[in-house]
Structure 1
Amino acid sequence: MNIKLLVLITAALIPTFCVAGTHQGNTSIQSFSKAKKHMQRDIYTVPNHMKTLYCGASFNRDKYIKLPHGFITEVHKKRTKRWEAEHIIPAENFGRAFKEWREGNEVCVDRKDKPFKGRKCAEKANKEYRLMQSDLYNLYPTIGAVNATRQNYNFVMLPNTVDKSYRTFGSCKMVIDSKGKKAQPPERSRGMIARTYMYFEAAYPKYNMSRKQRQLMDAWDKQYPVTQWECERSERIEKIQGNKNPILISRCN
Structure 2
Amino acid sequence: MQYFKNIRFSIVFFTLILIQQTSLANNQKIESFSKAKKLLEKQVYQNHQVTLYCAAKFKTDKQVIFPDGFHTTKYIKRSKKIEWEHVVPAENFGRAFSEWRDGHNKCVSSKSKSFKGRRCAEKVNVEYRYMQADMFNLYPVIGAVNALRSNYNFTMLPGEESSFGSCAMKINNRKAEPPQNARGRIARTYLYMDEAYQRYSMSKQQKRLMNAWDKTYPISEWECARAKKITEIQESENSVIKLRCKSL
Give the residue type in structure 2 aligned to 1:234: A
Matched, 1:250 2:224: no
The CA deviation at 1:159 is 2.3
User: Is the aligned partner of 1:76 residue 2:43?
Assistant: no
Q: Any gaps of 5 or more consecutive residues in structure 1?
A: 1-6
Work out the number of aligned pairs and report it.
236
Match of 2:206 among 213, 216, 226: 213
Give per-residue Cα distances to partners, 1:49-103, cap 9 Å, x unaligned. 3110000000112211101111010110101111000000001111000000000
Q: Which amino acid letter does the alignment assign opposite residue 192 of structure 2?
A: Y
**Aligned partner of 2:165 among 159, 166, 170:** 170
Inter-CA distance 189–249: structure 2 relative to 1 (3 Å threshold): same
Deviates further, 184-193 or 60-69: 60-69
**Structure 1 consecutive aligned stretches of length 4 or more whose deviation exceeds 2 Å:** 14-23
1:16-165 map, 5 Å: 17=18, 21=22, 24-46=25-47, 49-160=48-159, 162=160
What's the TM-score, normalizing by structure 2?
A: 0.90
For residues 211 and 19 of structure 2, what CA distance do their matches in structure 1 show?
24
Secondary structure (helix, strand or coil) at the match of 2:241 reads coil
Q: Secondary structure at the match of 1:200?
A: helix
Which structure 2 segments of 5+ residues have no match? 1-6
The equivalent residue for 1:4 is: none
- Tell me if structure 2 keeps the 8 A contact 1:167–1:175: yes
Contact 1:52 1:143 in 2 (8 A): yes
What is the alpha-carbon distance in structure 1 between the residues aligned to residue 156 and residue 24 of structure 2?
29
| Letter of the 2:116 counterpart | K
Provide the TM-score with structure 1 as the length reference: 0.88
Q: What displacement does 1:17 show?
A: 4.5
User: Secondary structure at the residue paired with 1:250?
Assistant: helix
1:29 maps to a residue whose letter is I
**Aligned partners of 1:54 and 1:188 also within 8 Å:** yes
Aligned sequence identity (%) = 51
- What amino acid maps onto 1:187 in structure 2? Q
Q: CA deviation at 1:215?
A: 0.3
> 2:162–2:168: 8 Å Cα contact kept in structure 1?
no
Partner of 1:3: none
Q: In 1, are the aligned partners of 2:68 and 2:166 still within 8 Å (CA)?
A: yes
Secondary structure class of the residue paired with 1:218: helix
CA RMSD of aligned residues (A): 2.1
